[in-house]
Structure 1
Amino acid sequence: MERLNMSHSFWTYNMLLRSLCQSGLHNTAKMLYDSMRSVGQLPDSRLLGFLVSSFALADRFDVSKELLAEAQCNGVQVNFIVYNNFLNILIKHSKLDDAICLFRELTRSHSHLETVTFNILIQGLCTAGEVDEAFELLSDMRSFGCSPDIVTYNTLLHGLCRIDQVDRARGLLREVCLKCEFAPNVVSYTTVISGYCRLSKMKEASSLLDEMVRSGIKPNAFTYSALVDGFVKAGDMASALGMHKKMIFHGCTANVVTLTSLIDGYCRVGWVNHGLHLWHEMNARNIPSNLYTFSVLISALCKSNRLHEARDLLRLLKQSEIVPQSFVYNPVIDGYCKSGNIDEANAIVAEMEEKCKPDKLTFTILIIGHCMKGRMDEAIGIFYKMLAAGCSPDDITLRTLSSCLLKAGMPGEAARVKETLFENQGTLLKKSYHDSINADKSIPVH
């Protein structure tokens, strides 16, 4: 441009800015944008929307705000889609206070807002547990020329159920049935049914299912899965199986969530073989297991002292594409430690570390297991590894380790263990204090 004394078109800038952002070169994109503005070129609404979202997704919220503020000063017509996308990204990045500030700016500068804009902020407030503030927004909607829709109410229902105010959610559901120009849908009913199931209020959940069917709304797999799981957690396996039969009768195919709940139910009442049979049936029907399917079966097999079968399931898990977590391995490690087979427990931990990190419980199991077998050098090594991983042992673990070290004639090592623990706890306390201070600074004020 300088050498040939020429000017670039808007489309040249548009192409380069999009390419740079898509390549993650946001600093260079910002320099190019500044160059574009210095020659008097303004972005259109589509380019502006792309840039605002792209910088926000790259955690450059300051640039996104700057772009919007400059566009408003220059009279660029900003489509509401731009604001809505930016609000969505702020909410998903846990920047609720920034989203509220942007929303307030919109209410000052626009007499008419979109329902979807309110819905985004209501979702953010409900996710943060600020449900009463979300209801205040609901009451403000009509003054800005928009009305709540089914998404608004479903979001509020979900928010109420998240904080266990399920009776209040059912009241809102009745209000929607009576007062609104639209009827609740399957999501509305399933949300409240799931809320009751999570609280083991199965009588209320079943009653709401009947009401749902009477109103002409067909339950789906999510509805039935919630009820099956609710009955299982409430210890009513007969009703869980009955609900599964009803699900099949009404043409809903049981998915991995439903079947895992039933497997869990069988295992809870001690019918582990029934759970294994259902798992084999899942495999025969090409319904892939998830992490929790493996976890339920492995835990139940370990409780029944069927460690070799649990070990075989761990090998199958390793061969699958499922990303494991420590809670699946811990029951097997614990079982082998308690049976005195520390070498096998160590081998499982080594396999586990290829896929995921041990957690506090893993370290605790290993330390106590090695202590009980008198393998104190290994127990001390695991203790220091635990501290290095940022896990602080509980009192039982510490007392067990110290007692075994003293019995093994290692009083100096016992004293060093306690001293190291106190030093480590002091560091963790300082970190926790600083984290809490930083967290306080980010708490939104409504």
Structure 2
Amino acid sequence: MDCVRLVRWIEGSDLLKEIQSRDDFSPNVVTYTSVISGYSKLSKMEEASIVFDEMISSGTKPNTITFNVLVDGFGKAGNMALAVAMYEKMLFLGCLPDVVTFTSLIDGYCRAGQVDEGLKLWREMFARNLSPNKYTFAILISALCKENRLHEACDFLRHLRGWNIVPQPFMYNPVIDGFCKAGNVDTANVIVAEMEEDRCNHDKMTYTILIIGHCMKGRMVEAISIFNKMLATGCAPDEITVNSLISRLLKAGMPKEAFRIKQITWENLNVGLSSLKRTIPVNVNTDIPVAV
């Protein structure tokens, strides 16, 4: 967090102390929750807990937002024991959890590498008649892909169609990347086709994953085609994408195509030649300009 935001949260904490010292005004649930949120965003969960205890001691009842902030903060800090304890306290005080509560708990377990615990909460969420949001889906899809449980991740993608959720590229990209890294580019292409059927446009990450995936399989013609489509849609590639494609083209004995990619990138997207030259080896045909 930048210094300005840090100072603001410190000032917020000082403001809380000032309010507490006054006889004509008492902090309410919004005041306490704001300060707790500030500490949580700074990963200062001990201080957030102290303010929460002060809140309870003052007789101010926390609401769902208060608990969600704490559950999310502990989960991101890797302390699932306290995240779950806060969830249990939430239930004990009669405060009903919502989709944000469950998504934060699922995220915490997935960050800790306990995906199956996250899936249990997914089922509990449905038992409480709560509908997942796009982040709930995205977190579980990404976590399953990290564990190479790609077919389960695909099932989650296909479940999207049963919910009123607009598909986003960040939901598909981990699955496409997983299959490409596993050398299964054909299945990755199937997922891409499903993505397009769901009217979900590719983003820069999608194109980069596909280009590198096809290059790794030696499918240079397809990689070039994807790169051209990327440019045609107005999606600007970054240096990683361009350099990876150029490097693979050179290794495949296609220096003219490599130079063409570099040239059109320079002409259309204003990517500096100097940054691209760094990754181009010198032992290519002498009729191709190279760095020395």
- Quickly name the TM-score band, shorter chain normalised: 0.7 to 0.9
Letter of the structure 2 residue corresponding to residue 345 of structure 1: A
Q: For the aligned residues, what is the CA RMSD?
A: 2.0
**Which of structures 1 and 2 has the larger relative contact order (alpha carbons within 8 angstroms, sep 6+)?**
2
| Partner residue, 1:231 | 74
What secondary structure is seen at the aligned counterpart in 1 of 2:253?
coil
Whether the 8 Å contact between 1:310 and 1:332 is mirrored in structure 2 is: yes
Does the aligned pair in 1 maintain the 2:265–2:271 contact within 8 Å?
no
Q: Which amino acid aligns with 2:17?
A: R
Take 2:270 and 2:108, find their aligned partners in 1: how far apart are those partners? 44
Q: Is there any run of 5+ residues in structure 1 with no aligned partner, and where?
A: 1-159, 429-446
Distance (Å, rounded) in 2 between the aligned partners of 1:241 and 1:227: 10
Q: Offset at 1:358?
A: 1.4
Q: Distance in 1 between matches of 2:21 and 2:233?
A: 56
Corresponding residue number in structure 1 for 2:208: 364
After superposition, what is the alpha-carbon deviation per residue over 1:406-437, rounded to whole angstroms, capped at 9, x for unaligned? 23332211111000101122399xxxxxxxxx
Q: Alignment partner of 1:165: what SS?
A: helix
Percent identical: 61
Q: Once the two structures are superposed, what CA deviation does each residue of 1:15-54 show, in whole Å capped at 9, x if it has no partner?
A: xxxxxxxxxxxxxxxxxxxxxxxxxxxxxxxxxxxxxxxx
**1:276 counterpart residue number:** 119
In 2, Cα distance between equivalents of 1:411 and 1:262 = 51
Determine the structure 1 residue equivalent to 2:229.
385
Give the match for residue 260 of structure 2: 416
What is the number of residues matched between the two proteins?
Answer: 269
Q: Kindly state the Cα deviation for residue 274 of structure 1 after the two structures are TM-superposed.
A: 1.2
Could you tell me which amino acid in structure 1 is paired with residue 114 of structure 2? W
Query: 1:182, CA displacement in angstroms?
Result: 2.9
Give the aligned partner of residue 294 of structure 1.
137
Equivalent residue number for residue 51 of structure 2:
208
| Structure 1 residue ranges (4+ consecutive) displaced by more than 6 angstroms after TM superposition | none
Task: Report the secondary structure of 2:109's partner residue.
Answer: helix
Change (3 A) 1:426 1:397: closer
Give SS of 1:254's match.
coil
- Contact in 2 for aligned 1:161/1:191 (Cα 8 Å): no
- Structure 1 length-normalised TM: 0.58
Of residues 186, 199, 213, the one that matches 2:42 is: 199
Alignment of 1:21-60 (within 5 A): none
Matched residue type, 1:271: Q
Superposed, 1:286-435 pairs within 5 Å as 286-353=129-196, 354-426=198-270
TM-score by length of 2: 0.87
Q: Partners of 1:417 and 1:193 in 2: how far apart?
A: 51
Task: Name the aligned partner's letter for residue 241 of structure 2.
Answer: T
CA distance in 1, matches of 2:91, 2:183: 46
Counterpart Cα distance in 2 of 1:216 and 1:300: 40
1:177 and 2:20 aligned: yes
How many angstroms does 1:171 deviate by? 0.7
